[in-house]
Amino acid sequence: MVGGELGKEIRNLWHEFEEDKTSEAKFVKALDSLEANHQSIMYDVDYWENWFYPVALTKADKYCEHEEILGALNGEITKRMKEEFNRAGVDLNK
């Protein structure tokens, strides 16, 4: 583990991220969630539990609603996720 002043700064930044109160933390949370969703487009989703498909489609929404550009990016990634889920034979209406 990193110690000293750098360790304190990293720990403080982590707490800021987890508390999700600052605009920077909200932005990073949004990017973190969008990145995970984007990866799901590129990788096999067949191993997911059925309950997770609808969760994955909406989990980034709350992190992206504060910025128009993030909302637009989230919309595009969600659209592509749905296309990939359909290609994989996932019934999103279940």
Each residue of 44-59: pLDDT tens digit? 777 777 788 888 899 9
**What does pTM read for this prediction?**
0.81
Domain segments of the chain as ranges? 23-87
State both tokens at 87.
């290609």
Q: In the structure, how many helices (H) and strands (E) does the chain have?
A: 5, 0
Residue among 62, 51, 65 at smallest CA distance from 94: 51
pLDDT greater than 80 at residue 72: yes
- Sorting pLDDT into bands at 50, 70 and 90, what band is 33? very high
Mean confidence (pLDDT) of the chain? 90
CA angle 72, 78, 80 (to 5 degrees): 110
Contacts of 58 by beta carbon, 8 Å cutoff, 6+ apart: none
